Structure 1
Amino acid sequence: MRICILLALLGIFQHSMAQQQKKPNIILIMVDDMGFSDIGPYGSEISTPNLDRLAREGLRLREFYNNSICAPTRASLMTGQFAHKAGIGYFNVNLGLPAYQGYLNKSSLTLAEVLKQSGYSTLMSGKWHVGDDSLSWPNQRGFDKFFGFIGGASNYYDISPYKEKVPPVQLVENNQQVTLQPGQYLTDEIAGHAEKFLDEQDKTGKPFFLYVAYNAPHWPLQARPEDIAKYKGKYSIGWDSLRTQRIDKQKKLGLINANTTISRDAEVPAWQSLTYDEQKLWEKKMEVYAAMIDRMDQGIGRILAKLKELKKDDNTLIVFISDNGAQGGFIPTGRKRQRSSGPIGTAGSYDYQEQNWAYVSNSPHRSYKATAYEGGISSPLIAWYPAKIKGGTFARGTAHLIDLAPTFYEVAGAGYPTVFNQVNTHPLPGVSLAPLFFTQQEISRKTPLFWERAGNRAVRNGKWKLVSSYPRNQWELYDIEADRAETKDLAAQNPQIVSELSAAYDSWAKNNDVVDYDKIKPAGPSGFAGPFNSNTTNTNTNATATSGRQRSAQRNP
């Protein structure tokens, strides 16, 4: 009798394990401060063969939206909530209100918490940035394994030779502090720990969710010398010609229409107006920036090779995105500029791409990180799943970060609980993209998409986009289907649409506890309450309002 019971239990266990194995694995890859056109599948000259492959064998979205800046984007990504509802309406600093507490609240469940309840191993390697306190770290919010850094930015190298001038690299692995060793490069370590976690997870027999959150190509500009060498002289053509080349490629790829209106930035000087020495300094910035993206793609190649080695490549959904557009001169003057302790690209570098090259990175869109214009909130999205996604597919979208959680839960067959650990959960406002990914069905969304961050506001409903930049605070209206570069403000001609969309925004803002930014704006330049984290005191930022100030900044780095 006992033998029969044991055999029956063994059969139940084996059936359960087989069912678990049928569930698809999920890999979510997010890069940091990378513009819409910075990878090959979206128009770039930078070598990204692994992303090229994922795009060739998968699906690309023309319109995928983020929240314009690091922490609010990660809040929506991790929870499927609008950032205010998750508790990070501004940044990872506490402004004294629940919508602005600076860490994820308990009513907003993370992807790891939900998928873990559905039998998934939950793994993360990279940047967290949705809660500095240890009670809010990844292992405390559902991840079985974590390696990376908690705050907003990190050096890529061991910086002990510069320890008197810059703070140490602070990393964490499963709640224990670790450090980079001489010769190690953080982008490689992020990919390496993803591989390590996949090897360890393979022994469990479970499906897995792996979140790879690269900090590349976020400042500081630090890259492997051999990667920098690949791009030596490649950017001598300057930003004017390079932007034209990228836009032409985007048109050939079908990412943008042939008659697309192109945005202009009067603050970016003509390349030919620079002196020879100035051009050489600017070239170096882009060489290093390209090298950082190149190395990131190499890491994706390592992860793909590990999937194939483990024979899990046919049953894995991969989604690749960026957290916001490239960084322009988004922080006004008044914040101290960090002086580099070594040449651009080395461990002592605290330089960054800056607005002139970010203008290329965000092609063909307007503006930059931290704004609600397309250049701030538009991201590439590549989805790859050999068993279900038709290769070489393009789709318009329009999709948002809040849609990824419902997508992953549908794919995983994971229920989203109304109560978790005795706390009522927020309903999910997004829609699943699974029908779009697998059968190219159009997204059916009952309500518009909304944004607010540091007074910058936007609404997207159908072809219309209502947008307002702080501190001007005046609504502008654009027909995104005809003018995605936001060059023609149609607000005066369409007062009824402005009225309807602004009323919808007011209702959303009330329901999400959005507060007038002037009432909660923190002290300090650009409203930042101090540094992003202990790694980033006096970070390298430089407002560039005129071409003269831009060039002066390069002469006095």
Structure 2
Amino acid sequence: MKKLLIISCVAIVFYSCDTPQKVTSNNNTEKRPNILLIVGDDIAFGDLAPYGSEINTPNMSKLADHGVRFTNFHASPVCSVTRGMLLTGNNSHEIGLGTFDYAVYPESVGKKGYEGYLTHDAVAISELLNDAGYNVYKSGKWHLGNGEEGDLPMEWGFTKEFGILSGGSNHWNDRVMVPDMTTPKNQKLIEEGKMPGIDREEWSLNGQSYTRPEGIYSSELYTNQMIQFIKEDRESGKPWFAYMAFTTAHFPVQAPQELVGKYFEYYYEKGYEGLKKARYDQLVSQGILSQNTNEAPQNDLTEEWSQLSEDEKRMQAKIMATYAAMIEDQDIRTGQIIDYLERTDQLDNTLIIYLTDNGPEGMDPSNPEVGNAVFNQWIEANFDQSFENIGQANSAHTIGVSWANATTGGLQWWKWFIGEGGIRVPMIIVPPKAFTENYERAGELSDAVVSVKDIPMTILEYAGIEHPQTEYKGRKIISPSGITMKPFLDQQTDEVRTEKDWYAFELFGNSYLIKGDYKIIKVRTGMFGDGEWHLYNIVEDPSETVPLEKLERERFASMISLYKKYSYDHNIINVEASWSPFKAAK
């Protein structure tokens, strides 16, 4: 890691056949909007109240009431890959994120596009916004480079930054969420037959090492620092871009205890299948999913609630209640930012975008199919996993496959997988002035086809910044394939992506392509698929239960042909059919 100075804690994949629309530069900084980009971590499509959830998220509902809820928005199935596309508008293989740094396929090591961190083959919107006179802030999670492999936030145009560089950490202190078994210290312990302890997570504030205070919850810490950044530069007169990257609800499942109790009885009574059905019913009855949506079939990896003992049911209900509390806390912090902007007369001139980076985390360390034995041994050796201790700083639970499956309601699968439950996530946009003026699309539900790549292009257009396309400050870059959503948000069109604006994605050897309402998908046997391509209408059939490849042969063949060209153009590596990223996970 690049050397950092010590300071005190008190200083608080996708592809489109079109290029994005160009936008006109605007040098009038007084009229340019502020931009608040909020990213939730490992939160399911059905986890927020405006998406049919029982979890108390009134501030998300407030955003939905004033803006547009998107019901057909897709990210990647893992966090760093989504974040790279979110900041560039590029396909994952174009920017070094053809692999996920926590589970690397051995044959991809050293290959271009598979670096596992954000490369400078693209330009980030943080750089372009900085160049255009914006103050550019990041608070929370980075997960795009650690200084040795990939650059730090302030080398990507951020003027102020705070938080962690990795994929997550303990929510109450500076301890790591997963062990790094490759360090010399831990290698020596393993050779001696000992299990490593809990190392410290690297924290930074404005490029300097930061001593994280214990006992302050992660979302509170991140939110307070972001508001402080905005306050500090208030007199500059510049517009700002705030990348608020929460680590909730990423494991370890930990939350303020005062928020946990209200959910325990509900999850105890519903159980896995009951929650899945309740979420499905709400998503369909509220029009968030099509009335034709079938209930998702039982997943072979999940357990049945009736098969659990009484103690196991209580344990699982409290874990899920703690997960819900993590999401409620994130909503509280989002409200804290909105309230601050409203009090300081900045809300009216702020574009607000909320999304989550992928579906819920189904990885369960003790599960033989999607777990990791070494990780499980590390948890058992270092944490108190008792019922009474769930959610505390020295606990390390995950919600596991059965709850992850339940949270998505009418969708199948979860994080790591390219089924709709892993990649279809909430996304809400509130344009500037939508809180005070009669915004025509306020409260609207839209099934417009949208990719995470489209968000950065939308931000640039609102900021009046033209993307340089192929060259940035003397370095060659790859043109983004995201498409601006602003014409849709301005009611100039009813679509974001038409059928000609298809996009494709690959990770872990699993692939999909979306074109209009249709999706082709292929999942390897090592990740519980059959290794064959299938076709679904994901607007009418988001549960992906009615394959159409035999009924829509021409469409199916055309989409396969498009994917083959995409794969060739991006030098995608074939992955052995039986390989498991869970067994390979670091």
What TM-score, normalized by structure 1, do the two folds share? 0.87
Give the AA of the match of 2:162.
Answer: F
Decide whether the 8 Å contact of 1:468 with 1:476 is kept in 2. yes
Confirm whether residue 276 of structure 1 aligns to residue 290 of structure 2: no
Against the structure 1 CA distance between its residues 485 and 100, is the aligned structure 2 distance closer, same or farther, given a 3 Å change threshold? same
For residue 110 of structure 2, what is the aligned residue in structure 1? 96
Query: What letter is aligned with 2:258?
Result: E
Is the 1:58–1:386 Cα contact (8 Å) retained in structure 2? Answer: no
Q: Find the residue that maps to 1:410 and give its secondary structure.
A: helix
- What's the secondary structure of 1:244's corresponding residue? helix
Aligned counterpart, 1:376: 422
Where does 1:121-520 land on structure 2 (aligned, <5 Å)?
121-133=135-147, 136-158=151-173, 165-237=197-269, 238-267=271-300, 268-329=302-363, 332-336=370-374, 337=376, 338-339=379-380, 341-342=383-384, 343-388=389-434, 389=439, 390-417=441-468, 418-439=470-491, 441-445=494-498, 446-471=500-525, 472-518=530-576
- Which protein has the bigger helix share? 1
CA distance in structure 1 between the partners assigned to 2:263 and 2:406 by the alignment: 16
Percent of aligned pairs sharing the same letter: 30
1:5 maps to none
Partners of 2:280 and 2:212 in 1: how far apart?
A: 39
What is the Cα-based RMSD across aligned positions, in Å? 2.4
The separation in 2 between residues aligned to 1:412 and 1:505, in whole angstroms, is: 33
C-alpha distance 273-334 of structure 1, shift in aligned 2 (>3 A): closer
One-letter amino acid of the counterpart of residue 462, structure 1: G
Equivalent-residue separation in structure 1 for 2:139 and 2:207 (angstroms): 13
Question: Structure 1 140/160 Cα, relative in aligned 2: closer, same or farther at 3 Å?
Answer: closer
For 1:270 and 1:102, locate their aligned partners in 2 and report how far apart those are by CA, in whole Å: 37
Contact 1:95 1:520 in 2 (8 A): no
Residue 500 (structure 1) shift: 1.5
Q: 1:291 to 1:82 in 2, by over 3 A?
A: same
For 2:86, give the aligned amino acid: L
Letter in 1 for 2:136: T
Shift of 1:114: 1.2
1:144–1:463 CA distance, 2 compared to 1 (3 A):
same
How much has 1:409 moved relative to structure 2?
Answer: 0.9
Report Cα offsets for 1:8-64 as digits up to 9, x if no partner: xxxxxxxx9992121011111111111000010001111111111101111101100
Q: Is 1:23 the counterpart of 2:59 in the alignment? A: no
Per-residue CA deviations over 1:469-517 (Å, capped at 9, x if unaligned) read: 1234211111223211001222233333332211101111122222212
Distance of 1:282 and 1:160 partners within structure 2: 24
Cα distance in 2 for partners of 1:96, 1:159 equals 31
Question: Matched residue of 1:199: which SS?
Answer: helix
Deviations 1:428-475 (A, max 9, x none): 211111122221621244331111001110011122211011234211
**Partner secondary structure for residue 265 of structure 2:** coil
User: CA offset at residue 371 of structure 1?
Assistant: 1.3
Letter in 2 for 1:361: T
Q: Which residue of 2 aligns with 1:11?
A: none
TM-score, normalisation: structure 2: 0.83
**Aligned counterparts of 2:372 and 2:100: Cα–Cα separation in 1:** 19
Partners in 1 of 2:403 and 2:577 — Cα distance?
34
Q: Secondary structure at the match of 1:122?
A: strand
CA apart distance, 1:161: 13
Deviates more, 1:468-477 or 1:72-81: 468-477
Instruction: Give the direction of change, closer, same or farther, for the CA distance of 1:503–1:221 in structure 2 (3 Å limit).
Output: same
Residue 448 of structure 1 aligns with an amino acid whose one-letter code is W
8 Å contact kept, 2:44–2:407: yes
Distance of 1:80 and 1:444 partners within structure 2: 14
Aligned counterparts of 1:30 and 1:377: Cα–Cα separation in 2: 14
Instruction: Extract unaligned runs of 5+ from structure 1.
Output: 1-15, 531-557
CA distance in 2, matches of 1:456, 1:46: 32
Q: Displacement of 1:133 after TM fit? A: 2.1
Matched position secondary structure for 1:491:
coil
